[in-house]
Structure 1
């Protein structure tokens, strides 16, 4: 998989055929390629018509630049074959996977309609009952996939189709992972997903499980009900920092009609630690159905003692650091305050070409004066501030991994 955070569906609307694409007009898996639908890091997506059946399908062609890597091709086939075992009305079906000449392809069901991203761009925000119904349909589809051992890893409005009949279809399992897949054909530390919607563990290049999809669905539901992305930023670093450490404002701030119970459900989905989220998509769907039945009914299994959902730092436990992202400073950079028992440090994340320039001041751990920082490193999972005397590393809290959680 590409380390690029874009995916096959992070693309512009369908393009007009120019005749320059060599794949247009070719017959692959018995289907004549008609037009290009989109393009992303993993490959190109086309609309094709089966020559014998006269039926329309979608062909996803693996990017030729990736076919030279044996592990990429092996993973492409293995994961597509695993996804083909999914049989649920809420999941776009994979019909076939194979190789024809120089092209590696996946043939999928073609679904008419529009994505929820298209819908939200037109309507700005959705009535909460409607958005909740969509989320239940997605959770049901994910529950089926999770029970089959598949994790989607890229749940977002662009990957959720709404048909003319009002049916919800989860598509693009192109980043999906099977929990039983061999680590030998994976690249350690790859970041897969879409920055605004990915879970903290994905952003940090750490192991994912079913609860990672639940986080992304929570972000999606927040967005559908408010029209606001809860983890936004001017650059990738700022977005990731917010996923790691920042509790967004309650969605009720942007949509006063939302029931408190729904806000609680969303907040629980967005917990930084996987063990504090819903442990299965089935449990999430059950609570959402309960809200539709009675919006005023308290949800007994939602922790009322959880940290406030008001914007601000997420209180750390088990030794976590307290992080708060501030607004832009005079120079236009975002600021992050790293606090420990003995003091703090201010981190300035600049924009543009200087996105990794960081200034740190204050005391380090054990109260030592930090002085000027000699080196700063940014990784997807941590920030390391180092001088001659001390090193302070702010990282995500380690959790006991359970690849089968939620399955």
Structure 2
């Protein structure tokens, strides 16, 4: 791990992350150790290289990394906490794993025991299976991206090349081939595509490396290495390390077949094959320290996970040199038919007694070794239902080692043992490992908030929680847009079993309401009818009308069609006909009288005799001062 200085060391990024030191450099970014000053925890801060931060294509890819990784939540996946940009520094914050990578492990120890290699790969595949089930691929599985924490937890890091999978996803963008060439699958090299089976290919190469301490494919150049992926094939691990069992060769071959259709479809399927292979192997095969090309580093390192079986005790002789195990040596006197001196006979009898005592002691020690001692065997105890501490105590009392796994259970309380492998009553050598599966409790997934989502978005959100979309109903709704979800049953926050269905009500938009006709009704009746239909009412200024009686609705807008709940209908109420007063036109001429009546909104109608003598009006009908409808005709009488 590098400790070189970096310009950001000592700086506060985004007003939150205090950079402590420089950790490493990658192809796209620099990794720094920082403290999250808000949550008071150490994080690994991944800062994009300045030359790439100016390229929006790379920035988008970098942000996509954060979104992809943040969706993955599993103990065997390094989680992403945050992403952002500060003064041109594009970054993301992720968990800081203190420990070493699988690359450093292999460099230090060389080839691992089969048990150690399979245990490590089991954790890797569990992390990858979560990603594959969620529709993501890693595309850069290699020992450098497998982190082993100081507490033994294994995590898959750097989903920086992951992206959502449809059926296949291109791995070549703008002429750049992603992934480390030593672990690229043939289809990535030949066609630039990758799916979950490409991750399996890389996982098989990692397993090869753990078993042999060497890379499966080496080349003089990246092009040469890529060519071998396509045309050369992956050798069997037993060709590099003598004595590796055939099932391990088969397990590597299954993952590294050149035809992706011949590989497992995802990490979960390959994990089952790994379990089956481990079940085929004996404890001696699993714990055998490798010898051969890749085993040199192991001699200097400490065995990982596997526990060496004790060697049988040897009887001690009279002398031993340092560094060598002494063995029994004795000379039995030869009977010559003559008795020696008494002192010689006593020495002979003493030597014989000592020899017999030594042989009895050695025999007793051997018997103890293979019975009560470390060379003996024990029966695996039944630990089902016990807590983790109880299991550890029980196995320790039987001189057995505990390896933990976890699984969901509907019947066993969280934290208690479900079963063991090997099962109870199996005879094992003392010091052997027993894998105990502890309950994670019932498998439950929380219903996400679905209100406001479309049906397709809700289906995707439920799938990420291992839940399914059930029946959908259509309902009118005034505030939720058409096509969006109004409510879900069960509601958000409810915990359900895997694949359980959630039903949703989907909005059809606002309900259309036919506009009732209220023309000719009284104002009060019209308003009541419109409000009953859940419509609002606005009344404009009343108008005169000769056709609609006073107080009745003369018109409405709109007059027909449909509205949505709460929309407005405007009504106009009649004041009845407009009334005017007949003016006094007596003494006026016919023409003057007609003009005055017209000005008052009336029509003058001269009667016979007017104008015959004096052309002077003497009376009208209706008479002056009477109130009549505007537009009425007034008869004019004169001399």
Structure 1 length normalisation: TM-score? 0.66
Higher alpha-carbon Rg: 2
Residues 181 and 188 (structure 1), Cα distance of their counterparts in 2 relative to 1, 3 Å cut:
farther
What is the rounded CA distance, in whole Å, between the counterparts of 1:73 and 1:259 in structure 2?
47
Does 2:54 correspond to 1:68?
A: yes
SS in structure 1 opposite 2:176? coil
Deviation string for 1:308-358 (max 9, x for gaps)?
A: xxxxxxxxxxxxxxxxxxxxxxxxxxxxxxxxxxxxxxxxxxxxxxxxxxx
Does 2:179 correspond to 1:196?
A: no
Deviation string for 1:144-200 (max 9, x for gaps)?
A: 011111111111111111112211111111222222599899725431111111212
Unpaired segments ≥5 residues, structure 2: 283-639
RMSD of equivalent CA atoms = 2.3
**Residue in 2 that maps onto 1:249:** 235
The answer to whether the Cα contact below 8 Å between 2:169 and 2:194 also exists between their aligned partners in 1 is no
**Residue in 1 that maps onto 2:252:** 266
Deviation string for 1:258-296 (max 9, x for gaps)?
A: 221121110121111211111111111011112222227
Does 2:6 correspond to 1:15?
A: no
Shift in Å at residue 27 of structure 1? 1.3
Map 1:274-293 onto structure 2 (within 5 A). 274-293=260-279
- List structure 1 runs of 4+ shifted beyond 3 angstroms: 180-186
**Residue in 2 that maps onto 1:26:** 11
Unpaired segments ≥5 residues, structure 1: 1-12, 297-407
Does 2:108 correspond to 1:125?
A: no
What is the rounded CA distance, in whole Å, between the counterparts of 1:290 and 1:154 in structure 2?
26
**Residue in 1 that maps onto 2:207:** 221
What is the rounded CA distance, in whole Å, between the counterparts of 1:260 and 1:58 in structure 2?
41
Deviation string for 1:47-92 (max 9, x for gaps)?
A: 0012233311001011111122222212221231121010000000
Shift in Å at residue 205 of structure 1? 5.5
SS in structure 1 opposite 2:35? strand
Does 2:101 correspond to 1:115?
A: yes
What is the rounded CA distance, in whole Å, between the counterparts of 1:181 and 1:127 in structure 2?
37
What is the rounded CA distance, in whole Å, between the counterparts of 1:225 and 1:185 in structure 2?
29
**Residue in 2 that maps onto 1:80:** 66
Does 2:139 correspond to 1:146?
A: no
The answer to whether the Cα contact below 8 Å between 2:211 and 2:237 also exists between their aligned partners in 1 is yes
**Residue in 2 that maps onto 1:57:** 43
Structure 2 length normalisation: TM-score? 0.42
Task: Count how many residue pairs are aligned between Structure 1 and Structure 2.
Answer: 282
Residues 230 and 26 (structure 1), Cα distance of their counterparts in 2 relative to 1, 3 Å cut:
same
**Residue in 2 that maps onto 1:96:** 82
The answer to whether the Cα contact below 8 Å between 1:193 and 1:202 also exists between their aligned partners in 2 is no
SS in structure 1 opposite 2:22? strand
Residues 232 and 78 (structure 1), Cα distance of their counterparts in 2 relative to 1, 3 Å cut:
same
What is the rounded CA distance, in whole Å, between the counterparts of 1:54 and 1:99 in structure 2?
20
What is the rounded CA distance, in whole Å, between the counterparts of 2:188 and 2:171 in structure 1?
18
What is the rounded CA distance, in whole Å, between the counterparts of 1:60 and 1:123 in structure 2?
29
Relative CO higher for 1 or 2, CA cutoff 8 Å, sep ≥ 6? 1
**Residue in 2 that maps onto 1:305:** none
Residues 183 and 287 (structure 1), Cα distance of their counterparts in 2 relative to 1, 3 Å cut:
closer
What is the rounded CA distance, in whole Å, between the counterparts of 1:293 and 1:66 in structure 2?
48
SS in structure 1 opposite 2:94? strand
Residues 51 and 133 (structure 1), Cα distance of their counterparts in 2 relative to 1, 3 Å cut:
same
The answer to whether the Cα contact below 8 Å between 1:190 and 1:205 also exists between their aligned partners in 2 is no
SS in structure 1 opposite 2:281? coil
What is the rounded CA distance, in whole Å, between the counterparts of 2:171 and 2:183 in structure 1?
25
The answer to whether the Cα contact below 8 Å between 1:115 and 1:161 also exists between their aligned partners in 2 is yes
Residues 182 and 204 (structure 1), Cα distance of their counterparts in 2 relative to 1, 3 Å cut:
closer
What is the rounded CA distance, in whole Å, between the counterparts of 1:266 and 1:186 in structure 2?
27
Deviation string for 1:187-227 (max 9, x for gaps)?
A: 25431111111212223451101011000000000011001
What is the rounded CA distance, in whole Å, between the counterparts of 1:150 and 1:279 in structure 2?
13
